[in-house]
Structure 1
Amino acid sequence: MLDRMFNPKAVAVIGASRKEGKVGRAVLENLVANGFENIIPINPKDTEILGFSAYQSILDIPKEKSVDLAVIVIPAKLVPEAIAQCGKAGVANVVVISAGFKEAGVEGARLERECVEICKQYGIRMVGPNCLGIIDTDSGLNATFAANMAHKGNIAMMSQSGAICTVALDWADKTNVGFSKFVSLGNKADLDENDFLKFFEKDTSIKVIAAYLEGVKSGPDFIRIAQDVTRSKPVIIVKSGRTSVGSRAVSSHTGTLAGSDAAYNAAFRQSGVIRADSLIEMLDLSRAFSSYPLPKGRNIAIVTNAGGLGILTADACASAGLNIASFEEPTISKLRDTLPPAANIYNPVDVLGDASADVYAHALEIVLADGNVDGVILLVSPQAMTDVGEIAEKIVNAIRKSEKPILCNLAGGTRISEGEDLLQKNGIPNYPSLERAVNSMDALCSYYSIRNRKYTSSEEISSDKDAADAVIKEAISNKERILGLESMDILASYGINVVDSRIVKTLPEAVGVSEEIGYPVVMKIVSPDISHKTDVGGIRLNLKHADDVERAYNSMMSDVHRYMPDARIAGVQVQKMLSGGKEVIIGMNRDPQFGPLLMFGLGGTYVEFLKDVSFAVAPISADEAKHMVSSIKTYPLIAGVRGETPADINSIIDALMKISQLVMDFPEILEFEINPLMVMQDGEGCVAMDVRFTIDVN
């Protein structure tokens, strides 16, 4: 159906206008200006607009006109009836440019819901409302009120912001960048990013997909669809709303550290999406994928006529994780024979400031032929003797023949303009800074791995689900939103080792249980109102005999009552004190878009201070669990440094997968945290020492 939206036999413009400055006039003019011929204006007051016969209603159009697309540009309150008339007329696709829907308040939201219901009733697909419109350069369709028509190319772009669309179109017009399709998503009342990802994947005219998003409608579907799409086409997304402003209050470390942006980072990484940090970066990367072949590795050669630029580029490559290629011996010999004696023939290759275009061309040809080189970054600085225009001609010829990417930074301003214009005329980017060239090369290299990534599914975990269900149902029945140490049975029911412990109500019980468990012991306050026990003196460690237990019990109760006099005290947990392990944290915060967001990091009291954590959207596979563990900066402390015995990393991976299964099985769990999970030496497993659940009791 969407094929006919972008390549319609005829387009009706509902709200077409004779008046200059009206949106309905601009849409009509854009359709006409780009050669689209089968245009039908709809306006109850006119019989002819811009030379086209106009109709009072879409129902008045003769059936043989075969309208596949209606563009609606009328007041919001009239839109539902207009869509219903489209349905009766057999129009399958509508683009609602009109504003005044959910973005405008309660009444607008009601109108938008009404539009969606009418679309469902008639099987209509809708873009918008509150959007700029759509463009297809293959069919010549410009159903927008933008000031520019896109140049023909192989990039598809969608955006929730109409203004971002116009910025991108204007940038592309200046830089000679081409698009295949352009979609302003608007409010996404019907068609959304998932629908267009699937459609763009099948479109052979599209090589790269770019998007500006403020959010996704269905996170799990997005991950699944993007995993399929990114196997064949790069998907580059700039996502706004990165800060935690406006996020809901949370009580756990996981919730505090997560925020919605962590979920998007995890989801993008798990689905192969390349996240751009800015609109400029999104456009840079889109252009790189549009223009260049993919490198087969991360080994980069640098060719320059300025040593300083070469060194800066090498530094930038190292920071990005790109390798400075080591040349094969024949390459070095050829460079030695070709370049002046003072030139640097090792990587970066410095052809010297007075290098001619031919010298550049020879150096580039030799370097590209090296089997150790996967891509080239070429730098030109404007010396008095540098013919930038002639060098640009050689670059164009080289890029046309090369099976490896050659990214250019003609550095400077006025003196490089001739070369820059020549590159742009031939559809070749000139990156304004070496850092942007390096960043684009990094994206090209990364996508080669993304495209060949194999996604493994999560494994079914054996568990006593009924036992966990009983604990959670009891909590819901009692309206107990917070479950702490008393809920260790939930972990045990999923095969996670928990520390030997008892909950007591009195000091004599504490002493008796300590004797039974065996010293040394730990005591922890049990309260649904206390999230961070250390902050209120609610933990006592390394108690070695009864006198220690008595003193610790009394002082702990005193401290807790002093810091939190209104806290409900359910008792004290006495547990065996373990030593010799590494403390880690496993947590979960249920994200509104993506669902369970798992967190892993070093545990104990410093997790919020260090913020050295990793995230993944559940359910996760063993491979994803391994990535979570290995991607934190302090991973070497777990893996073992300077002769230390490594911690049992496999037991952490096992625990992460079990927690993933637990939170998928029970959507009632809103937040969850084991802190700490004590990980013993390799082969000795791990033990949950403390736990906290937040349950949806409504």
Structure 2
Amino acid sequence: KYDVSGNDMLQWWESDGRTELALLHLESFGNPRAFSRTARRVTRRIPVLTVDAGRTDAGRKAAASHTAAAATRTMTRGALFTQAGITATRSVGELLETAALLHSQPLPEGSRVAIVTNAGGAGVLTADACAEAGLALPPFTPTMIDELLAVLPDGAAIGNPVDATAAVSEEQLTECVDRLTRCSGIDAVVVALVPTAIAAATGDDLVRAVTAAPGRRTRPVLAVRLEQDQPVRLLPAADGGTIPSYAEPQAAARALAHAAARAAWLARPAGVVPDLEDIETGRARTVVAEYLAAHPDGGWLDPRTCADLLACYSVPQIPWAWADSEDAAVLAAERLRGFDGRVVMKAHWPGLLHKAQEHAVHLDLRGDAQVRAAFRDLETRFAGLMTGVVLQPLAVRGTELFAGVVQDEVFGPLVLFGLGGTATEVLADHAARLAPLTDRDVHDLITSPRCAPLLLGANGSTPVDLGELEQLLMRLSRMAADLPQLAEADFNPVLATPDGVTVLDARVRLLPRRPQDPYLRRLR
């Protein structure tokens, strides 16, 4: 790294005409944005693997916004690797296990695995490992069961895994593996073997059943040999190729899961950053410049400036009004009651981040008396802090989500999305991608969190307006890409219903800074 960067290596491997697989151990990034652009191109041609080192992220401040608290280093690096198509492993051992498979075998078309073993216990261990790695073990069709029964010894159990029993011969196992690799419902075959007295007595070499005829196999085949003294080996095959052999089923399953993920990434079309309508970048930059001129050290925007900035990107916001006195709050509530008749009051002062935690919110206020009482309560409890209140109509019922962006000094703007409301940090159900977002990135953001079924119409419910949700994330991404001074943006909650998407509460922090290239900064 003294004078050769990871970017330099990627570009060399891309153009040398010889490299078929690249392994990287990156402790730091000189220019992650250039690295991501280059890697997206290179990984379409060759696999690029790395060890995701430095995953821990200590010292998150309790006072941070929801976005900053969620944007851990692990999440940021994960977004970079995912978007660039890089296979990120958790250790050097896992790196080598995966490289052995990608080097020696074709990619699986999916994640459906068949397991065959000469010992039931080894098959169970391998099945558990595959399931834990996210791989599927589908049942066989009646036709395939009949074919396997015809070639295996009496007593064989034709499930998945297939227990060929200790009596299986080399010839029988070879035929079994060949038939499984030709099965249309299977994407890969794992052969788990243990040494047996029967095989030693007959002279059968069951490993040869795996390596004898790989040339006619179009799907990846892996061996698991529990007596193997090395974590991973490449076994010479009859056609001059190799078969990866693992000492533990977990290693084989991890490698196969990485291979399936790469195949899925290659099968996806490259995303595009769509054009957006009703964007006023020039006016947004003016809003930012005027705020920073009045606040040279930056800070959290007041509600009016925040709303103006969001309006520049046509971010949908719930109607609201500002009040700095009890009488003004009553008048504002009267104007807003036309939406539903009930209003919400939120205290405000510079630097207030978590209103619910501070008990600075009153919900479902009806009539002037309740509005006055709520204002007096907030004014009393936060005397010397509160500068006013924000009033909004009470929102309809829907799914509360969270969307935000944090400007990473090294990686650039990171967009986060997930389950919102007061449980945002407790449940930590988030996904993240680096801006600018493509249409594929937005799709991943929406479908990756565990709460995704709620958005797509779980249990017969009506899906939320996914088109509007996509637009919100696109506009947030565009705002972050346009404005390097945007340090954090925190939309929580975002209310999603079948009829649309609305930001109920927004926080934006600006800092004085200019666009900069970390790589050029390093060269100065």
TM above 0.5, one fold?
yes
Show CA shifts across 1:575-614 (max 9, x none): 1111222211110011122211001111111100010011
Show CA shifts across 1:117-136 (max 9, x none): xxxxxxxxxxxxxxxxxxxx
Out of 221, 224, 228, the position equivalent to 2:41 is 228
Structure 1 residues 457 and 422: alpha-carbon distance in aligned structure 2, compared to 1, 3 A threshold: closer
Contact 2:300 2:510 in 1 (8 A): yes
The 2-side partners of 1:421 and 1:602 are apart by 45
Contact 1:586 1:599 in 2 (8 A): yes
Tell me the SS of whatever aligns to 1:650: helix
The 2-side partners of 1:203 and 1:330 are apart by 48
The 2-side partners of 1:676 and 1:420 are apart by 51
For the pair 1:591 / 2:408, whether they are aligned, the reply is yes
Residue 339 of structure 1 corresponds to 152
Residue 324 of structure 2 corresponds to 505
Contact 1:215 1:239 in 2 (8 A): no
Tell me the SS of whatever aligns to 1:403: coil
Deviation for aligned residue 1:659: 0.8
Residue 368 of structure 2 corresponds to 546
Deviation for aligned residue 1:452: 2.9
The one-letter code matched in structure 2 to 1:385 is: I
Deviation for aligned residue 1:299: 2.4
Deviation for aligned residue 1:248: 7.8
Runs of 4+ displaced beyond 4 Å: 246-250, 419-427
Structure 1 residues 246 and 405: alpha-carbon distance in aligned structure 2, compared to 1, 3 A threshold: same
The 2-side partners of 1:641 and 1:653 are apart by 19
The 1-side partners of 2:335 and 2:208 are apart by 85
For the pair 1:471 / 2:287, whether they are aligned, the reply is yes
Show CA shifts across 1:240-275 (max 9, x none): 111112668872111111122211101111111111
The one-letter code matched in structure 1 to 2:323 is: V
Out of 437, 440, 454, the position equivalent to 1:620 is 437
Structure 1 residues 219 and 250: alpha-carbon distance in aligned structure 2, compared to 1, 3 A threshold: farther
Structure 1 residues 368 and 427: alpha-carbon distance in aligned structure 2, compared to 1, 3 A threshold: closer
Deviation for aligned residue 1:685: 1.4
The 1-side partners of 2:234 and 2:333 are apart by 80
Deviation for aligned residue 1:623: 2.5
Residue 247 of structure 2 corresponds to 432
Structure 1 residues 608 and 389: alpha-carbon distance in aligned structure 2, compared to 1, 3 A threshold: farther
Tell me the SS of whatever aligns to 1:448: helix
For the pair 1:305 / 2:118, whether they are aligned, the reply is yes
Residue 674 of structure 1 corresponds to 491
Tell me the SS of whatever aligns to 2:444: helix
For the pair 1:648 / 2:470, whether they are aligned, the reply is no
The one-letter code matched in structure 2 to 1:224 is: R
Give the total of aligned pairs: 501
Out of 249, 252, 261, the position equivalent to 1:446 is 261
With a CA cutoff of 8 Å and minimum separation of 6, indicate the structure with the bigger relative contact order. 2
Deviation for aligned residue 1:225: 0.8
Contact 1:297 1:445 in 2 (8 A): yes
Residue 481 of structure 1 corresponds to 299
The one-letter code matched in structure 1 to 2:472 is: A
Gaps of 5+ in 1: 1-187
Gaps of 5+ in 2: 514-524
The 1-side partners of 2:382 and 2:128 are apart by 53
Tell me the SS of whatever aligns to 2:72: helix
The 1-side partners of 2:168 and 2:100 are apart by 29
The 1-side partners of 2:235 and 2:133 are apart by 29
Tell me the SS of whatever aligns to 2:76: helix
The 1-side partners of 2:32 and 2:308 are apart by 31
Residue 97 of structure 2 corresponds to 284
Residue 201 of structure 1 corresponds to 14
Residue 555 of structure 1 corresponds to 377
Contact 2:108 2:260 in 1 (8 A): yes
Contact 2:178 2:217 in 1 (8 A): no
For the pair 1:212 / 2:34, whether they are aligned, the reply is no
The one-letter code matched in structure 2 to 1:406 is: V
Residue 192 of structure 2 corresponds to 379
Contact 2:152 2:173 in 1 (8 A): no
Deviation for aligned residue 1:206: 2.0
Tell me the SS of whatever aligns to 1:237: strand
The 2-side partners of 1:509 and 1:389 are apart by 91
Q: Describe how 1:284-433 pairs up with structure 2 within 5 A.
A: 284-327=97-140, 329-387=142-200, 390-412=205-227, 428-433=243-248
Tell me the SS of whatever aligns to 2:197: coil
The one-letter code matched in structure 1 to 2:463 is: P
Structure 1 residues 475 and 570: alpha-carbon distance in aligned structure 2, compared to 1, 3 A threshold: farther
For the pair 1:665 / 2:482, whether they are aligned, the reply is yes
Structure 1 residues 196 and 246: alpha-carbon distance in aligned structure 2, compared to 1, 3 A threshold: farther
Show CA shifts across 1:364-418 (max 9, x none): 122223233322100112222234982223322233543321111111368xx9x
Deviation for aligned residue 1:541: 0.8
Residue 602 of structure 1 corresponds to 419
The one-letter code matched in structure 1 to 2:343 is: V
Contact 2:234 2:244 in 1 (8 A): no
Contact 1:320 1:439 in 2 (8 A): yes
Contact 1:501 1:576 in 2 (8 A): yes
The 2-side partners of 1:427 and 1:250 are apart by 54
For the pair 1:238 / 2:51, whether they are aligned, the reply is yes
Contact 2:153 2:168 in 1 (8 A): no
The one-letter code matched in structure 2 to 1:464 is: E
The 2-side partners of 1:193 and 1:517 are apart by 56
For the pair 1:691 / 2:506, whether they are aligned, the reply is yes
Question: Given the two structures, how large is their TM-score scaled by the length of structure 1?
Answer: 0.68
Show CA shifts across 1:487-531 (max 9, x none): 112112211121111111111100111112113111111222211
Tell me the SS of whatever aligns to 1:280: helix
Q: In angstroms, what is the RMSD of aligned CA positions?
A: 2.4
Deviates more, 1:390-399 or 1:486-495: 390-399
Deviation for aligned residue 1:355: 2.2
The one-letter code matched in structure 1 to 2:282 is: D
The 2-side partners of 1:339 and 1:628 are apart by 47
Deviation for aligned residue 1:334: 2.8
The 2-side partners of 1:659 and 1:250 are apart by 23
The 1-side partners of 2:512 and 2:331 are apart by 35
Contact 1:389 1:422 in 2 (8 A): no
Residue 519 of structure 2 corresponds to none
The one-letter code matched in structure 2 to 1:262 is: M
The 1-side partners of 2:244 and 2:204 are apart by 15
Tell me the SS of whatever aligns to 1:210: strand
Out of 509, 520, 537, the position equivalent to 2:342 is 520
The one-letter code matched in structure 2 to 1:671 is: E
The one-letter code matched in structure 1 to 2:301 is: L
Structure 1 residues 345 and 582: alpha-carbon distance in aligned structure 2, compared to 1, 3 A threshold: closer
Contact 2:271 2:438 in 1 (8 A): yes
